[in-house]
Structure 1
Amino acid sequence: MDKISVCIGSACHLKGAYRVLDIFQKLVQENDCEASVEVEGNFCQNRCTQGVVVKINEQILTNINVDNAEEIFRAYILRRI
């Protein structure tokens, strides 16, 4: 199972973390991959100046936003399914 963890700590929250989290949840549903992809919000990934921070499995990605979240999902999740 793939796991997407979106930081919702203070700095990432201010940069739109909840909108990014919503996008990932929507994409999981739209692509019918609920059984193989888990999406969660979590706190600090220790890269507060680089938010929104997203961890996909063991890879940490920075500067994720509403404009690039779908591209990230396609590159890191859909290509594996």
Structure 2
Amino acid sequence: MVTISVCVGSACHLKGSYKVIEGLQRLIKENNVENQVEIKGAFCIGRCTEGVSAMVNDEDFFSLNENNVDSFFHETIIRGLSNE
């Protein structure tokens, strides 16, 4: 199971964390990986100036937004699932 924790703290919220979450939910459904990928909210990953921040398992990712969430998902999540 891959766990994606998306920061929903104030700075990331203002930078569009909910749009990122909506994009991830859509991509998980489109790729039929509901049983392999879980999304959680997190409060402050600690890099507020680089938000929207997320953690995939224990690895940090920064500067996510609704425009790059598709490439992030395919390059990080789908590629990671195929390597398991």
Q: TM-score, normalised by structure 2?
A: 0.92
For these two proteins, the number of residue pairs brought into alignment is: 81
Q: What residue is the counterpart of 1:18 in the other structure?
A: 18
Q: Report Cα offsets for 1:30-58 as digits up to 9, x if no partner.
A: 11001110011111101111100011111
Indicate yes or no: 2:20 matched with 1:6.
no
**Unpaired stretches in structure 1, ≥5 consecutive residues:** none
Equivalent position of 1:66 in the other structure? 66
Give the C-alpha shift of residue 80 in structure 1: 2.4
Cα deviation, 1:13-46, whole Å, max 9, x if unaligned, reads 0000000011001111111001110011111101
Corresponding residue for 1:51?
A: 51
Aligned CA RMSD, in angstroms, stands at 0.8
Percent of aligned pairs with the same amino acid: 44
Unaligned runs of 5+ in 2: none
Q: Under a length normalisation based on structure 1, what TM-score does the superposition of the two structures give?
A: 0.95
Structure 1 runs (4+) greater than 6 angstroms displaced = none
